[in-house]
A and B are shown apart, each in its own frame.
Chain A
Amino acid sequence: MSSFSRSAQQWATFARSWLLIDARMQPPGKIASVCSVRLQGKHKPIYHPLSDIGDHVVVMNTRHIAFSGNKWEQKVYSSHTGYPGSFKQLTAAQMHQKDPTAIIKLAVYGMLPKNLTRRTMMQRLQLFPDDLLPDDILRNLTEELPQPREIPRKLSEYTQEERDAFPMLWTPDFQLSMVVHFLTYRNTTHTHTHLVGWETRASLCNR
């Protein structure tokens, strides 16, 4: 990098890169905060609010985001067009059904600074519900950002050796052994909250 000529170094420093982030099984707020930092350019030491040095951010798999707690049913998105009788309230689940990119879009919009540069930054945010990206965007991508949340493994993804090696906390009664076996291995991962993905919620609702 130090062997670049001055104009080449300048070009490389001020270039606008395209960053990719995968939102599968991630909380949408964490994804949005990462996106807003990159869109404003606050991750660069040459930051200035007037410089317009933010990068492009492409988010894929927005359909598969995972809210923690009961937010799919409890989080409410309200809107009012100004005309009487047009106050609409949608739960996060209904919003996601209507438009799978809307939740992340609203989250990022709320996290950007509330000034005239916000709309240009939102134009530089590209959201895709699945991992199918158009060719011209795929060609522009330079870097993939790490996911903010470590996805815990499901019980079915553990091998039998790992399950056997897990310590038993007490020796159960033979009658209850099958129930206790399940209960002991349910909290194998160290997640503090149980995040509900879109497919899990759908399967739970359809049961």
Chain B
Amino acid sequence: MSLLGMFWNQTVCLLQHFRGRKNRCYSLAVRAVRRAFVYASKARKAKRRSMRQLWIQRVAAASREQHMKYPALIHNLLKCSVALNRRVLCDLSITEPRSFQSLTALAHARRTEGLRAALGDGAEPPGVFSRITQLQ
């Protein structure tokens, strides 16, 4: 069992697509494989970031279709204690447009109530959305 043989047996599927002598010659291949593993580890963390960025962009586009902005939507859904995350909101906006429309309507109603309460005289607001619930 030579170490050289072990190396090639384990990594030949990984470095078949490398450019130049990195896919054939041991010294170059070792370095290339180590770099590839490092990039893969960094990318696993960056993938979560880029997926969240994409979800946010999609939810923002869908909410603008419903005449609402993304920060207003998220903040008002939070205030209504609707704990849907961005991934679910993105999927709803693509596959369940009517449900997403109702969520934007909910956020819009909560927003108008909040603005009325802030600009008004501090009286009990007439709506149902803004009554503070005791969260367990």
Q: Which residues of A contact B59 (CB under 8 A)?
A: 45
B111 within 8 A of A: no
For the A-B complex, the count of residue pairs with Cβ-Cβ distances under 8 Å equals: 22
B77 within 8 A of A: no
A55 to chain B, nearest CB (A): 13
Which positions 30-87 of chain B face chain A at CB distance < 8 Å? 54, 57-62, 64-65
Which positions 1-55 of chain A face chain B at CB distance < 8 Å? 42-48
Query: B54 and A45: CB pair below 8 A?
Result: no
The total of chain B residues at the interface (CB under 8 A) is 12
Q: Which residues of B contact A45 (CB under 8 A)?
A: 58-59, 61-62, 65, 90, 93-94
Output the nearest chain B residue to A1 by Cβ-Cβ distance: B97
Q: Which residues of A contact B57 (CB under 8 A)?
A: 42, 47
Query: A46 and B64: CB pair below 8 A?
Result: no
Output the nearest chain A residue to B53 by Cβ-Cβ distance: A49
B54 to chain A, nearest CB (A): 7
Residues of B at the A interface (CB closer than 8 Å) are 54, 57-62, 64-65, 90, 93-94
> What are 5 A-B pairs at a CB distance below 8 A?
A42-B61, A43-B64, A45-B62, A45-B90, A46-B58
